[in-house]
Amino acid sequence: MVCTVVVLGVGGATPALAAGADPTQPTAGPCQYTPTPDDPAARPVPLPRDPSPTPSRGTVHTVLFTNLGPIPLRLDRAAAPCTVQSFLHLVRHRFYDRTICHRLTAYPTLSVLQCGDPTGTGEGGPGYQYRDELPTNLPPAPTDPTGVRRVYARGVLAMANAGPDTNGSQFFLVYANSALRPNYTIFGTVDPAGLCTLDRVAAGGVQPTPDDPAPVDGPPARRTEIIRALALP
């Protein structure tokens, strides 16, 4: 596969924050996006719209333009309507622009790139959280004799979380089949051009430290910055 590196210039004003419902209370729709005052937003962003019913049909195309190449994504509304609604909201408010992907894992059973935190620390989020929309049809991981873990296949796009119903802004992209408990919402897939970019990041490995010259978990050695995230018409 031939990979083309695309660098997109960022210009224009950041969209104004929308006025709406009380930002201190959960939204009234079926997704119930809930403010997290003890974990404020890493960047100012309002709560997402929460229409009833939540759009739950079709796919939406988005692109993460990174310094190492584009990562086109296909979001699946049917699989995770509230998650897609939130992700598009953050994209449109440019929450992800000029952020780094802060974590790369290179375990035999966990191969993901994690992004979505403007602080770059793994601690930042959008100032709200919402419920899980967990997959129910993943095959058992052949590497797990207990049968608990499932295969999150290469190309899966899923939400990172800090426990049940704590989805926010952080997400991960799977570059090789991984074995995980089915506790992470899958809301789309990475297109072939995006897998090419992911492979470029993974090939660089994890950034070494004085204490660990060959780590398998940490910042990617090839700094990966989302220059601009766009939702396509």
Domain membership of residue 5 (yes or no) is: no
Contact 77, 55 (CB under 8 A): yes
- The residue segments making up the domain with residue 173 are 61-231
What φ, ψ does residue 70 adopt, rounded to 5°? -80, 150
Domain membership of residue 19 (yes or no) is: no
The CATH number assigned to the domain holding 133 equals 2.40.100.10
Judged on CB neighbours under 10 Å (0-12, 13-18, 19+), 47 is: buried
Longest dimension (CA), the chain: 53
Say whether pLDDT at 217 is over 90: yes
Predicted pLDDT of residue 6:
39
Domain membership of residue 142 (yes or no) is: yes
Q: What percent of the chain has pLDDT over 90?
A: 89
- Model pTM above 0.85: yes
What Cα–Cα distance (Å) separates residue 165 from each residue in 159, 185, 203? 11, 10, 33
Distance CA 66, CA 224 (A): 7
pLDDT confidence band for 11 (50 / 70 / 90) = very low
DSSP letter string, 76-126: ETTT-HHHHHHHHHHHHTTSSTTEE--EEE-BTTBEEEEE--TTSSS----
Average pLDDT, whole number, for the chain?
92
Distance CA 60, CA 221 (A): 31
Distance CA 70, CA 200 (A): 11
pLDDT confidence band for 22 (50 / 70 / 90) = confident
Domain membership of residue 34 (yes or no) is: no
Domain count of the fold of the chain: 1
